[in-house]
Amino acid sequence: MIGFVRWLFTLIGGVLLGSGLVLHGHVALARYMREEVDNTFFLWRALGDATFVFQGGETRMALAMAEVPPEALTQSDRAAWVLVIVGALIAVTGPLLARGRRAAPAPAISKPKAK
């Protein structure tokens, strides 16, 4: 039973750790896209907003991410850190769980020697 619990702790910790890292990647990508849109000439940005429907997928995503408030990115970054820390703690705790005690082998009964 303890083997299953150890496996489950490791699995859940790995899932939380992985989801936190994925969320970190999404936040980094969103910040990069916001920066690229902010660095674009204002006339091209206005033209992109006006022709949003005709733009490619990358341009649409960048323009949409520019509308995300910075507070949302900050909160997402904090949530990602919490997921990473909690996931790492749970994943490390799993293998450290004590194994069950094994019964000591019964002593062998010795026969008296015949003379």
**DSSP letter for each residue of 21-64:** HHHHHHHHHHHHHHHHHHTS-HHHHHHHHHTGGGS-HHHHHHHH
pLDDT value at position 50? 82
The tens digit of pLDDT for each residue in 76-105 reads 999 999 999 999 999 999 888 877 666 566
The tens digit of pLDDT for each residue in 1-48 reads 888 989 999 999 999 999 999 999 999 999 998 888 888 888 888 887
User: How confident is the prediction for the chain on average, in pLDDT?
Assistant: 86
Confidence class of residue 56 from pLDDT cuts 50, 70 and 90? confident
- Residue 53, pLDDT > 70, answer yes
pLDDT value at position 113? 74
pLDDT value at position 104? 62
- CB of 28 within 8 A of CB of 81? no
* pTM beyond cutoff 0.75: no
What's the mean pLDDT in 48-54? 78
